[in-house]
Structure 1
């Protein structure tokens, strides 16, 4: 049984495959909202600094000229892999302009999480082959350490502005310096791509845990992103037209380094002529003040932000949030209980959610404001079709039956960089074409209106989602195994009321570890992770010692058994008072 988008969803038009993402977003002939009628695309939520759509496009042009000159990029020679630049920054109003400037130069952008430690950033810089880094003052020390490790010179490091942090006394040039420089330089000639090049050429090298294993570099093509932008815009147009929404003000607090924030907030908003109010990172006071000041209509969030709203009602009540019409939650499942808590407090809000992954650029399903089924992740968006495969490998042919979700779409990415094993496991060929195995267990249920809705009920894949960040158990296990107190280990996700999930380690003590008390061993193992890994990868779920790690005959860790053990342990403790 193949599932399709609802009948009311418009058909997906032909997706351009011979233009860059930059050309697509700065050219009205591809469906973009008229530039002269668009809102200012990006506004700083702290200072109010902003640029019109025309000014933002001009900044992209001038920045591209300077990047081409500084890095000696020749867009007509070599391949895009000769022109890779990394962006390692908190959110700024120039984040998207930088990305599009690199695309103007026929290059690749590799966005790195602002939460990365120096070794994690070093890994991404090395594997991507980045020639330079665009960072910000708060992250500069980490960027310098990683750059030195991979041989990136300091004159290939530039700064993006972040409110509250001055770069005046630092020996690094800023994006504004480059834009001033670019005004005096010759224009970058338009790219002359052949048919199909946009589908083959990588636009973003994003890092994902995929369906299992260590983080992988995902090759996201220009056409992949263009397709998902059009898909999202088409899906939401029906509700927006009915509600009389031409353009709107959107919250931009989700990390633009994450494909959710990058595509669904940054790029889709540009295409629709919306305004994104950018916050460097989430802070409840700044968030509430921005909603009130800029009359934000759409909140793009993750579940932990909604938990903050519910648990800080006295503070929230001091702010005027009446401008909010819709709350779009993603990156992790939004539970029904939390949804109802929000609706009881703010009954006029439309609380919806979507589902996707880096490998689908990212959105697969979304909820229409006109067809909300609480707990579901919505319906397939235009241009997607799906199958559900049960545990025996058979195609599910009925509703309310669980199985792994497989999808097909022009938004499904090229594949992983230099990882054919992962490509073979994740992108599979059936007689009806190439399918993406999501690694997620779903069931399909019909809403009262008769439309198919997808419920994400469990993850077959083993990654942990902490505040929307992906954490690969295998990465933490590999790190733990080098600790002298650890003979064997396994990491699973455990529920956390704030972060959604956090990692917990089950550890078999080594002989050396047996000589230490549990308290001292746990403290040492925990510190080992905290000294080398980003905060969202810390073992906030704790460390538990165990006699043996359950494994299959082939040696694969049976994490489901450990999750069941954890559930039994929590159940035996009883409810918290």
Structure 2
């Protein structure tokens, strides 16, 4: 049952991520530029990148990192992030990438759950990294500070210490189909963050699934402002762009002026963004001051892109704007528009309110959540809405240590239940229309309501609380807290906002507060979020 991807099936090699990307690299590609750091201007060729990855793997192995060990990676984008990430995988270890905005408790929570034995970070994030490392028992020599002063001066090894160690890359033996490459954290369809178990095969498969559709090549310069710690940046940039032998122009963070400077100076051809960047590209007057003529493709992901906004970007910059859909549990890309928008294969460009077609080697189902029955595939127009299910080689193996959550997300037939309501048209284009899941997406970042609710309930003046996503005046989804005060207290909205802000990453902050007499709940005690939502919040 279900409907298959309309694209031809692709071959998925049974190899590790390192072997796919680097083992059989053509000699003519070795001296191409792989990475350009906008912060400092350093350039790294593919030859240098491979040497550094092997050196990093050797140093990690010499320091006791073995096949199957978990290494935390907490850093903004840089060429050293790429070296550390691929060095971890080359050593046969598993990388758990950590959001660079996380507080020390957030970091410690992920390190503990992932059972990480080593943490790699940078100087700017060292205070919270040290606090987290102390809390989970990671020794100073297992806290690596890539740009730090070095082990002799601080007790923390730096990149130079590792890359100059001379230890050879280890000979590792594992099954790519079952061995975990990465362990990003996602809230899935609901609840608190969970470790998403992605094997080497999962990542290799997703690269194969999107390679021809993205149409990147060695002449392209790809803007790498999407964070590498996020599965979108990890797969599309750190993996797929390098596989294409393109040059990754790496930005450590988004700043509009620097972003536009980079596109102009480096003649960027592909920009991978999230919707908030599209707003600036469509509306900000600064854009008109720059030469963007090399830019051919802008692909938006991580959150839904409004069709009107996407069209405005396309017209202003004279580029092809594309949209895709995915989630960490899908490695992450499950749907995408090809580089030509679908013109060659389907005779027309996909509308921007769709997320394109299912990637090769996958099967989709759209299921009525009320009846559990599959929605009929249309002969014309659009189907009725239903939950989108996806089956394919990019589906995660499960959530780390959480069989219950895994079983509720992946069924016995191998379909992953995305938690998103979707429709499909008669040529297989998928349209995401709503979310069944309760997850809030703020500027592309995942904000689990349950986590904020649990935090709010620790406040002495809070009797009960619920958090939902509402739309602000700019059309952005933001977290809003509904709070029941304890009798006799005079808690204010500003105090609630300040309380939460002091304990979570910036993107998780509560941005609106409303005091109510009682939180609506079902007979089983489940919060009735739909009763709290309104069009404007």
Give the TM-score normalised by structure 2.
Answer: 0.93
Aligned partners of 2:306, 2:498: CA distance in 1, in Å?
32
User: Is the 1:89–1:160 contact (alpha carbons within 8 Å) kept by the matching residues of 2?
Assistant: no
User: Is the 2:102–2:505 contact (alpha carbons within 8 Å) kept by the matching residues of 1?
Assistant: yes
Does 2:18 align with 1:22? yes
Q: CA deviation at 1:25?
A: 1.3
Secondary structure at the aligned position of 1:555 is classed as: coil
Q: CA deviation at 1:170?
A: 5.6
User: Is the 1:24–1:226 contact (alpha carbons within 8 Å) kept by the matching residues of 2?
Assistant: yes
Select the residue among 83, 87, 90 that pairs with 1:97: 83
Q: How does 1:41-80 map to 2 (within 5 A)?
A: 41-70=34-63, 72-75=64-67, 80=68
Does 2:531 align with 1:561? yes
Secondary structure at the aligned position of 2:233 is classed as: helix
Q: CA deviation at 1:299?
A: 0.4
Select the residue among 235, 249, 255 that pairs with 1:277: 249
Match of 2:345 in 1: none
User: Is the 1:38–1:247 contact (alpha carbons within 8 Å) kept by the matching residues of 2?
Assistant: no
Match of 2:415 in 1: 435
User: Is the 2:53–2:83 contact (alpha carbons within 8 Å) kept by the matching residues of 1?
Assistant: yes
Secondary structure at the aligned position of 1:503 is classed as: strand
Match of 1:113 in 2: 99
Aligned partners of 2:255, 2:220: CA distance in 1, in Å?
22
Aligned partners of 2:26, 2:260: CA distance in 1, in Å?
29
Does 2:301 align with 1:309? no
Q: CA deviation at 1:143?
A: 0.4
Structure 1 residues 160 and 524: alpha-carbon distance in aligned structure 2, compared to 1, 3 A threshold:
same
Q: CA deviation at 1:266?
A: 1.3
Q: CA deviation at 1:536?
A: 0.3
User: Is the 2:213–2:339 contact (alpha carbons within 8 Å) kept by the matching residues of 1?
Assistant: no
User: Is the 1:92–1:160 contact (alpha carbons within 8 Å) kept by the matching residues of 2?
Assistant: no
User: Is the 1:46–1:290 contact (alpha carbons within 8 Å) kept by the matching residues of 2?
Assistant: no
Number of residue equivalences: 523
Q: Which runs of 5+ in 2 are unaligned?
A: 343-349
Match of 1:211 in 2: 189
Q: CA deviation at 1:136?
A: 0.9
Structure 1 residues 35 and 67: alpha-carbon distance in aligned structure 2, compared to 1, 3 A threshold:
farther
Secondary structure at the aligned position of 2:97 is classed as: strand
User: Is the 1:356–1:363 contact (alpha carbons within 8 Å) kept by the matching residues of 2?
Assistant: yes
Q: CA deviation at 1:234?
A: 2.8
Q: CA deviation at 1:179?
A: 0.4
Q: How does 1:166-565 map to 2 (within 5 A)?
A: 172-181=156-165, 184-185=166-167, 187-193=168-174, 197-237=175-215, 247-313=219-285, 315-346=286-317, 348-370=318-340, 371=342, 372-391=350-369, 392-399=371-378, 400=382, 401-429=384-412, 433-446=413-426, 451-496=427-472, 500-512=476-488, 515-516=489-490, 520-540=491-511, 542-563=512-533
User: Is the 1:37–1:273 contact (alpha carbons within 8 Å) kept by the matching residues of 2?
Assistant: no
Match of 1:4 in 2: 4
Structure 1 residues 384 and 496: alpha-carbon distance in aligned structure 2, compared to 1, 3 A threshold:
farther
Secondary structure at the aligned position of 2:176 is classed as: helix
Structure 1 residues 497 and 306: alpha-carbon distance in aligned structure 2, compared to 1, 3 A threshold:
farther
Secondary structure at the aligned position of 2:73 is classed as: strand
Aligned partners of 2:395, 2:31: CA distance in 1, in Å?
29
Aligned partners of 2:432, 2:36: CA distance in 1, in Å?
34
Secondary structure at the aligned position of 2:227 is classed as: coil
Secondary structure at the aligned position of 1:158 is classed as: strand
Select the residue among 147, 167, 180 that pairs with 2:133: 147
Secondary structure at the aligned position of 1:556 is classed as: coil
Aligned partners of 1:246, 1:278: CA distance in 2, in Å?
16
Aligned partners of 1:156, 1:424: CA distance in 2, in Å?
35
Structure 1 residues 403 and 236: alpha-carbon distance in aligned structure 2, compared to 1, 3 A threshold:
same
Q: CA-to-partner distance for each residue in 1:261-308, whole Å, 9 max, x for gaps? A: 111121101111111110001011111111111100000000001112
Aligned partners of 2:530, 2:247: CA distance in 1, in Å?
44
Q: CA-to-partner distance for each residue in 1:477-528, whole Å, 9 max, x for gaps? A: 111111122111111111246683210011122214xx31xxx521221111
Match of 1:123 in 2: 109
Secondary structure at the aligned position of 1:300 is classed as: strand
User: Is the 2:38–2:262 contact (alpha carbons within 8 Å) kept by the matching residues of 1?
Assistant: yes
Structure 1 residues 217 and 27: alpha-carbon distance in aligned structure 2, compared to 1, 3 A threshold:
same
Q: What is the root-mean-square deviation in Å for CA atoms of aligned residues?
A: 2.0
Secondary structure at the aligned position of 1:41 is classed as: strand
Secondary structure at the aligned position of 1:354 is classed as: strand
Q: CA-to-partner distance for each residue in 1:19-42, whole Å, 9 max, x for gaps? A: 3211221123xxx67662674221
Secondary structure at the aligned position of 1:359 is classed as: helix
Match of 1:573 in 2: none
User: Is the 1:529–1:539 contact (alpha carbons within 8 Å) kept by the matching residues of 2?
Assistant: yes
Secondary structure at the aligned position of 2:467 is classed as: strand
Aligned partners of 1:209, 1:33: CA distance in 2, in Å?
40
Q: CA-to-partner distance for each residue in 1:66-114, whole Å, 9 max, x for gaps? A: 11112x2344xxxx1xx21110001111222212211222111110000
Aligned partners of 2:363, 2:65: CA distance in 1, in Å?
39
User: Is the 1:202–1:219 contact (alpha carbons within 8 Å) kept by the matching residues of 2?
Assistant: yes
Match of 2:346 in 1: none
Aligned partners of 2:386, 2:88: CA distance in 1, in Å?
40
Match of 1:574 in 2: none
User: Is the 2:96–2:114 contact (alpha carbons within 8 Å) kept by the matching residues of 1?
Assistant: yes
Q: CA deviation at 1:322?
A: 1.0
User: Is the 2:142–2:156 contact (alpha carbons within 8 Å) kept by the matching residues of 1?
Assistant: no
Aligned partners of 1:499, 1:59: CA distance in 2, in Å?
44
